[in-house]
Structure 1
Amino acid sequence: MNNESTSNINFSEWAKRTYAEHHETVEHMKNSSDPLDRAIANRITCVAGVGQ
């Protein structure tokens, strides 16, 4: 699998930046009826250090 990312950051840095820039979207995803959305949002918040 090729990495097509233009920036070479690890997942924890990406999660922190994503939560900082899009926290409302992540919080909305946590309340979604779609289990995949909830799982992704929970993982982002956990890795970003803002989860339970």
Structure 2
Amino acid sequence: MILKEVTGYDFLDLSQEELERWGMPGGPSKRLVKFAKECKELKKRHFRRTAV
């Protein structure tokens, strides 16, 4: 796998295709993208709660 640095909110927008292009196998890349989407959703929910 090629070493890449992903910072901040860019992590939440990674795609499985990007991770696979960087050399990450399909299974781990799929799980990582799912985790990033869950984090993004939690962030949205937290923001909505604190903004009200």
Q: TM-score w.r.t. structure 2 length?
A: 0.38
Q: State the TM-score, normalizing by the size of structure 1.
A: 0.38
Q: Which has the larger Rg? A: 2
Larger helix fraction of residues: 2
